[in-house]
A and B are shown apart, each in its own frame.
Chain A
Amino acid sequence: MDNMYSYDYQFRLIVVGDSTVGKSSLLRSFCDGVFSQDPDPTVGVDFNVRIVEVKPGVKVKLQLWDTAGQERFRSITRAYYRNSVGVLLIYDTTNYVSFTHVTSWLNEARAQIQPYHSVFLLVGTKIDRESERQVTTEEGKAFADFHNISFIETSSKSSLYVQEAFTMIAREIYDMLTEGRIHVQSGWDGVKTGPKSANSNQSQPIEIAQNVQPRRNGCCSS
């Protein structure tokens, strides 16, 4: 329990995307390390927490808000953008329609987050189903480049690049924080500093693949 309280920063991220693109699966894979074939549809908003290390000795608590994809829940989910410092835009690589909708998700997020600064990450899911792929890596990458955001493709089932995706966005936020492009502000919960006490000598709560570089537009096999 103790290590729950030892972190330097707390980032609040929101996960959005069409229904059934695999938002909840991605989060469960990241936070609990499990994958289920047919999880219950998310109703309203769920939330998950995990601590990651963005650089040796700097731990960040990621507060992950999982939203329902169905339009009907937008009025609820919309309210969660404001206090988020990062947005994961999810699409399903086996479903082209979900990819075409990313633009509207991006626009909605941008509109809602103003005037605060935020970091976006485009995430393609389900790359284990290569044979059913409808959106190529190049298309995803081109989209991300065009909007100047980061991009990664993942598979929750084989937990491929799942850790990397979250580490990537966490590092990016951390970098912006150190560069002073994002500030800890009162009245905004996007970024908060952790409890100052006892955070130095704790063992690493979660091990993170150290060899992954914080690449921009990084990725990807296939």
Chain B
Amino acid sequence: MPPGRKRTSTSSKSSTSTNGQHSPKQSPYECGSVVWCKYKKYPYWPGIIWDKTNKPTRTLYEVLFFGTFSLGVSIDRKWLEPYEGVVEFKKRIHELKAAEILIKNKTSQYDMNITLANLESFQEAVKQASKVLKCSSPSERLKLADNMRKGVTCDFFQLDIEDVDDDEQEENDENGEEDHEDSNSVVADENTSLAPVSSIQNDQEFIQTMIRQGKRKRTLEDEHSLSNGKIRRITIKNEPEQPSSNPPPSILFRHSNEQPIVMCSNFVCHSLSPTEETFILDAIARAGSNCTFFEAKQVAEEMYSNIICVNNTNRPLPVSEVWFYLFFYLHCEKLFSAHPHWLHDLENSKTSVHYLHEQQQQIIRLMKAYLCGINGSLRAQAWKYLFGFYPPLVSKAEQETINIERRLCYEFMCERCQKEMPEELRSQLPHLSSNSVRQPSSPNDIFFSIQQRIEAYKPKLDWNDMDRHARLIAKDLHRTDFISSEKKPDNYNYGPLTRLLVTFASYHPTIGYSQGMNDMAHCFLHVFSFNEHEAYFCFAYYITQSGEHFTEKGIAHKINQLPKLMGIVDQLLYDRILSLKVELWTFCHRWLFLCFRREFAEEEDTLICFEVVCSHFLEENSLAAERLLHDIQLRRAEQKGISSYSSTSMEGHSKSNEELGCSFDLFVCIAMISLFRSCLFDANDELEALEAIQQRQKTLDVRQVLSLAEQLFKIYCQQMASMTAPSLIETSSYDIID
């Protein structure tokens, strides 16, 4: 990051207090001291104290940065650290970071993320700093630095002083982060003259990135703040905590080639900035389209090794064997389309190491999925990732452990529900009886068993509230919408479905049971071939992630969002619907509520649609998101007391989703309405329109709907990006409806 673009944003409030605390301990910096200086969200950078101003409460410094020689003003001393070598400082950063995380319980400010993009400049700065440090007296240092500066053709940047309150500062930080990323790529392009990107294209690029990252939830609110030049960190999707690591572009179900495909997850290794990833991709591209998978792997690993070496103060680190596989997951689309023969390469090679083999298999599966879409056999496996049963990219051994844990946990939960449920309630649910928990055999199993038992018995269950849920469940069981292709047998076993719904309702009192959930639950059971614990955890994940969608407030909220979004992407149709007075968008309620469960004729189509709509979960099911969520939970747990920790954990989910306004299902919804366009335009009044739509129900082609929805999403992104006038933003502010 060339300091030429830096801005000062020292918070007056916080710095005052900090200053007061430790000034007696450390001697104040003098003019001419060489320091590490941290601008918010930018990496620590070597600089020299140029000037200082004594104020009654504190001292503010001006720092001249080495490398590009720009001047930062009004810097509080808490952002300064004495200059040692780079290596020593790295250590210090680690300590500071650890201490800060410990105290504030949040992600640290102390980050030293020098990326390849600003590396050259950084190394130059370090060189200059050590040169200057050799001078013994401060005045000599200043003089030398001044001479250096004069040799560099760089303008002085007089930076604005912003006295902002904490909230605004947050936003500014984010804003700065954006700038930072932009400049990263620009600098990189200048340095290497690779695929030059003009800054004019940035909007376009931004849109493409969003599209590339698939159908994930975006808040309308967020969008408009984007166009406003501000991003608020309110949603899980704003994952990155570190300024120079990019949002992990993850995985997913992507809908292209007319087929949704499943891709895999985000990085567990060292995170790379987009620019760095581009470097690697370019290196692979330079190797030619004929290179084999393993040649490409070698090229990429060399490049990667260079980058992480640079990022780790020139200390080489071993490259993980699986790294390239992970990298491939991320860039499958690009890499595989350029090198279709890789599938062949992989299939012909055999690796002896077990975990590598695993990765290879996954890649092969991924490539195949890319070619032909998810078929039935792959679906159960894919859904476990999609609905957070497994965290992204765990080894086979870990998967087995998780599987055992969750099975036991579910069995204990069922057992507990059955045991503790009042007799009167249980009599309503004759199918509830479950198999008793399997007796553990090995010591390992006993450990798991105890652990999961504690887990399952921890939350308090309130049976008073369960009464109405249980009644409804009992009523609805028989009315569940069974998969059309399979005929419901007379002696159908309602056990799994009952247990699943009752357990869910008991453990999630805020959500409970709502009509339609039975259909969803059956859908999960069906996909997991009645493997109850898998179905349960995926179902629970889906419901809790959908947040308030299943509560009274959530339903109203969704329905209120729809017309607003419609007005943005398809004004004409929106006006038509308004003029028809189609009251309250009746026909969309069920679509949204059941996630289009009843809208397609073929079961397969329904599942495809469901997968695509849910694909954003993979985004959220990433490590960064998990961390963020964990923070939220911790904070809540602190507020409410530890006892309620586990019950709040699910609410944490729904809370963080509360702000998510504009999810992909709304786009699917609008796509469907658009396909019913003729019905709406031909009809004379509301009633005729509704009748026409009702008649044409179940005639839509899922692929047509989804690709149209994707187009609408692009239109929406363009609209939002081009929306800059404040007045426009004002009218499109999507507040959560009370």
Cα of A68 to Cα of B553 in the assembled complex, Å: 16
Binds A, one of B278-286, B476-484, B672-680: B476-484
Q: How far is the CB of B612 from chain A (nearest CB, A)?
A: 21
Task: Give 1 or 0 for each of A29-73: 1 = CB within 8 Å of chain B CB.
Answer: 000000001111111111101000000000001010000101111
Is B690's CB within 8 Å of the partner chain A?
yes
Q: How far is the CB of A165 from chain B (nearest CB, A)?
A: 22
Binds B, one of A74-82, A120-128, A152-160, A198-206: A74-82
Q: How far is the CB of A14 from chain B (nearest CB, A)?
A: 12
Is B687's CB within 8 Å of the partner chain A?
yes
Q: Which residue of B lies closest to A83 (CB)?
A: B583
Q: How far is the CB of B595 from chain A (nearest CB, A)?
A: 11
Q: Which residue of A lies closest to B478 (CB)?
A: A38
Is B495's CB within 8 Å of the partner chain A?
no
Asked if B556 and A70 make an inter-chain contact with CB atoms under 8 angstroms apart, the answer reads: no
Q: Which residue of A lies closest to B519 (CB)?
A: A40
Chain B residues lying within 8 Å of A39, measured Cβ to Cβ, are 479
Cα of A156 to Cα of B461 in the assembled complex, Å: 39
Is A10's CB within 8 Å of the partner chain B?
yes
Binds A, one of B374-382, B585-593, B643-651: B585-593
Asked if A10 and B687 make an inter-chain contact with CB atoms under 8 angstroms apart, the answer reads: yes
Is A112's CB within 8 Å of the partner chain B?
no
Task: Identify which of B478, B480, B515 contacts A68 (C-beta below 8 A).
Answer: B515
Q: Which residue of A lies closest to B584 (CB)?
A: A79
Q: How far is the CB of B219 from chain A (nearest CB, A)?
A: 22
Q: Which residue of B lies closest to A12 (CB)?
A: B687
Q: Which residue of A lies closest to B474 (CB)?
A: A20
Task: Give 1 or 0 for each of B461-479: 1 = CB within 8 Å of chain A CB.
Answer: 0000000100010011011
Is B338's CB within 8 Å of the partner chain A?
no
Cα of A37 to Cα of B480 in the assembled complex, Å: 12
Task: Give 1 or 0 for each of A148-169: 1 = CB within 8 Å of chain B CB.
Answer: 0000000000000000000000
Q: Interface range on chain B: under 10, 10 to 19, 20 to 34, or 35 or more?
A: 20 to 34
Is A19's CB within 8 Å of the partner chain B?
yes
Asked if A40 and B598 make an inter-chain contact with CB atoms under 8 angstroms apart, the answer reads: yes
Given contacts A72-B551, A75-B555, A76-B589, contact A41 B479 (CB under 8 A): yes
Chain B residues lying within 8 Å of A189, measured Cβ to Cβ, are 581, 583
Indicate the member of B551, B581, B586, B598 with the most A CB atoms within 10 Å.
B586
Is B594's CB within 8 Å of the partner chain A?
yes
Q: Interface range on chain A: under 10, 10 to 19, 20 to 34, or 35 or more?
A: 20 to 34
Asked if A38 and B479 make an inter-chain contact with CB atoms under 8 angstroms apart, the answer reads: yes
Given contacts A20-B475, A44-B589, A68-B515, contact A49 B691 (CB under 8 A): yes
Cα of A76 to Cα of B581 in the assembled complex, Å: 16
Chain A residues lying within 8 Å of B550, measured Cβ to Cβ, are 72
Asked if A44 and B551 make an inter-chain contact with CB atoms under 8 angstroms apart, the answer reads: no
Asked if B593 and A43 make an inter-chain contact with CB atoms under 8 angstroms apart, the answer reads: yes
Task: Give 1 or 0 for each of B544-564: 1 = CB within 8 Å of chain A CB.
Answer: 000000111101100100000
Cα of A42 to Cα of B559 in the assembled complex, Å: 17
Given known contacts A41-B476, A79-B583, what 11 new A-B pairs fall within 8 Å (CB)? A19-B472, A20-B476, A20-B479, A40-B598, A41-B516, A44-B586, A45-B586, A70-B472, A74-B552, A75-B556, A80-B583
28 contacts between A and B (CB under 8 A): A20-B476, A39-B479, A40-B480, A40-B481, A41-B515, A41-B518, A43-B593, A44-B555, A44-B586, A44-B589, A44-B590, A45-B586, A70-B472, A71-B552, A72-B514, A72-B550, A72-B551, A73-B515, A73-B552, A75-B552, A75-B555, A76-B556, A76-B584, A79-B583, A80-B583, A80-B584, A83-B583, A189-B583
Q: Which 10 A-B pairs have the closest CB atoms?
A: A44-B589, A41-B515, A20-B475, A38-B479, A38-B478, A43-B590, A43-B516, A70-B515, A72-B514, A40-B481
